Structure 1
Amino acid sequence: MSRRAGAVAAVLLASGCLWVPAPAAAFGTIEGGGQHREHERITRAALACAAGTESSGDCFEPKSSDQLAGHRKSFGAVGAPDRTEVSDPAAHCDDADFLDGTYLRTRAQATESLLDCVNHLRGRFREAVGNAADLLDSQDEVVSAEVDLGTDCVLDTGSEQRAKCTTIEAFGRALHGVQDFYSHSNWADAADPSRPIGATNPPGLNLPAPSAVLDLRGTNAPTVPAALSTGCFVLRDRVPGVEACERRITHAGLNKDNGKVDPRTGSATQPTTPRGKVGDNFAKAVAGAIEETRHQWQELRAALEAGYGRQKASLMICALTHDDPLNDCRRHSRLTVVLVVSAGLIGLIGAGFLVARIRRRRERLMRSG
């Protein structure tokens, strides 16, 4: 979503008003004004458990998914940057534009802007790992007050104390940026073959997800393809660019922000932006964002295990993804208890058979003697 539209939308939603701003300039966070809650639907397609399915750690159950993806008027964690980071290009991977040949910016300048985004998202990712520590007490049991979802997570206020909420919010903010990367860059798309390559029609890289550029667990600078570009953004976002974006690749010309996304299958149809309408660019951007979202959840799980050990990480992952973690996420799971009890019963039954067999043998010996 454009930072201007995001700020207006936040005020309107908070006030309960149904009017929405003019068409947005990123994967959408609200329903209306040209947006279709694209961030929410991408996140659900990637990480929401199928209806009636218990999470095994690879998906989020309904209430937990609501906190991450958003629901009704709630932006959810993935939409939080469109409320409080609307003016920060690093939160949306903007302003990393470059075009080979005579261009206003060098490859090094564009890469520096892109690394600002990567480092910003790494910070959010590390924040999620750190906040997860408070999900468990000193006995490695889930803390009731830290995982209670009797009320929705309060995002963006600084007053939220529940560890499940703060962990999901930090992770959701990281997901917002990685999803925007696929919409705002030419990583996964193609140029319009009917027009010459230039600032209004930059080349497309047509690369798959996940992207090595988005190494959020890492600390080194990733390798950036020479032709990789995101769009320059100003409030008067248009093609050709104006103000600071004059004669540059613009967000308006490169984004694949809006269209219909099926939150169950991830199917992407009815694109509405110029670049999104070229070939299957919108579908590629959505598919890349979904795959990257799943990858980053796997990365977060791996980071939790590396930081806290396998047992603690397993409990943390369970607490984040389950709607009833107090019952579902104990050190000795229900399955373990069932197995232990079953083994005990089998042992008792076996012992009973053995005792009975010994008695019968003694009786036979007594009768024969």
Structure 2
Amino acid sequence: MVRATGPGLLAALVLPLVIVLVPARAAAFGTIDTGGQNREHERITRAAVACAAGPESGRACFEPRSADQLAGHGKRFGAVGSPDLTEPLDPAAHCDDADYLAGDYPRTRDRATASLRDCVDHLRGRFLEAVDEAGNLLDADGAIVPAAVTLDADCEFDAAQEKRSKCRSLEGFGRALHGVQDFYSHSNWTDEADPARPVGADNPPGLGLPAPSPVFDLRGTGAPSVPDGLSTGCFVLHDSVPGVEKCALRVTHAGLNKDLGLIDPNTGEATDPATPRGRVGGNFARAVAGAVEETRRQWRDLRSELEDRYGARKASLMVCALRRDDPVADCRIRGVPTVLAAGVLVGVVGLVLFGLRRQAVRGRRQAVRRRRAG
């Protein structure tokens, strides 16, 4: 996530198509390709769920135009970048302020866990928005609604005029992905402390845990199970400035994040880390790998939730509509395009009934002939 300062923040909020950012320190995985950011959110999302090459690669991946809407392209943030435009200072949208350090520390474990729970609940809400809106991809007969899935123009996220259900569902999902990806940049879940310095608030211990994290069961409702040593960073807009009262003596975002570096959007390979914590060992690469794996997990979970909510047949069409660029032509039921499926089904039933009627008439005529012959 990139949170701009001064006129940059105004530009990000008011002029999303003409991103004008003043130089500022990064706040999490980047969304733009200037000011030190390298579109990290977009590249993580593409590495995780975009089709590797061509329109279809044999897995449940997002085709190019659909991937553009979810991940972003050019100067457009995409669904995954939306929180940086509309929720830049909301800790729950980015899993901030869940900082904790064992020993004499200004915050308790319970308070840090409560902050993390705020993030999980917020992302659960976004995840469910995606599930709810997916129900509008199909009409009452279970066929894909063409107007709901067209991508003749880019999606307009956080816009009242955006009526396409595909765009609205992708927005909820993208916002959930933004938060879970930020978690791996903001927290010590996958990383390690700098062995050359003593462990403390400016060098918190790393947990070195694998992804995906059980913390982010977005289909669930219960409280997440949080390891005692888990911490994210205390965030303020200028958290590189010494003496900021909010984060005094606390684990800061500036000291913990693995925000910046180069990410291959095809493979997810992460190189050239550009933050102090990211440069320690393989911290940046592990944060990126964790975010990629978590993104894939959330896509699997979204498909499972759609099936539980709407049934296997409808869910299959919804998933197809979300990830394919031309769902009207390409999403099929046993080889039949979905927009024709209802008509084909009616036609088949009609033919069967017609055949049964003809057979019944033929049987009655044969019975009459037998009586006359007798």
Indicate whether the TM-score tops 0.5: yes
Contact 1:328 1:334 in 2 (8 A): no
Q: 1:168 aligns with which of 164, 170, 174?
A: 170
Question: 1:245 Cα deviation (Å)?
Answer: 0.4
Q: Which moved more, 1:217-226 or 1:323-332?
A: 323-332
The 1:212–1:240 alpha-carbon spacing in structure 2 relative to 1, beyond 3 Å, is farther
**2-structure distance, mates of 1:58, 1:176:** 20
1:133 aligns with 2:135: yes
Map of 2:283 onto structure 1:
281
Question: 1:332 Cα deviation (Å)?
Answer: 3.7
Question: 1:14 Cα deviation (Å)?
Answer: 3.2
Question: 1:15 Cα deviation (Å)?
Answer: 5.8
Q: Any idea what the Cα deviations from partners look like across 1:130-156, whole Å, max 9, x if unmatched?
A: 000000001111000000000000011
Map of 2:203 onto structure 1:
201
Map of 1:236 onto structure 2:
238
**1-structure distance, mates of 2:145, 2:337:** 21
Map of 2:311 onto structure 1:
309
**1-structure distance, mates of 2:23, 2:31:** 12
Q: Any idea what the Cα deviations from partners look like across 1:65-115, whole Å, max 9, x if unmatched?
A: 000000000000000000001110000000000000000000000000000
**2-structure distance, mates of 1:173, 1:3:** 15
- SS state of the match for residue 53, structure 2? coil
- SS state of the match for residue 186, structure 1? coil
- SS state of the match for residue 228, structure 1? coil
Question: 1:243 Cα deviation (Å)?
Answer: 1.8
The 1:148–1:283 alpha-carbon spacing in structure 2 relative to 1, beyond 3 Å, is same
- SS state of the match for residue 326, structure 1? helix
Contact 1:241 1:248 in 2 (8 A): no
Q: Any idea what the Cα deviations from partners look like across 1:207-228, whole Å, max 9, x if unmatched?
A: 0000000110000001100000
Contact 2:239 2:253 in 1 (8 A): yes
Structure 2-normalised TM-score? 0.87
Map of 1:259 onto structure 2:
261
Q: 1:159 aligns with which of 161, 171, 177?
A: 161
Identity of aligned residues (%): 66
Contact 2:100 2:112 in 1 (8 A): yes
Q: Any idea what the Cα deviations from partners look like across 1:35-88, whole Å, max 9, x if unmatched?
A: 000000000000110121416562100000000000000000000000001110
**2-structure distance, mates of 1:141, 1:241:** 59
Q: Any idea what the Cα deviations from partners look like across 1:276-327, whole Å, max 9, x if unmatched?
A: 0001100000000000000000000000000000000000000000001001
Contact 1:70 1:78 in 2 (8 A): yes
Map of 2:295 onto structure 1:
293
1:121 aligns with 2:109: no
The one-letter code matched in structure 2 to 1:186 is N
Map of 1:192 onto structure 2:
194
**RMSD of aligned alpha carbons:** 2.0
Question: 1:3 Cα deviation (Å)?
Answer: 3.2
- SS state of the match for residue 248, structure 1? coil
1:58 aligns with 2:60: yes
Contact 1:240 1:250 in 2 (8 A): no
Contact 1:23 1:35 in 2 (8 A): no
**Structure 2 stretches lacking a partner, 5+ long:** 341-374
**Structure 1 stretches lacking a partner, 5+ long:** 338-369
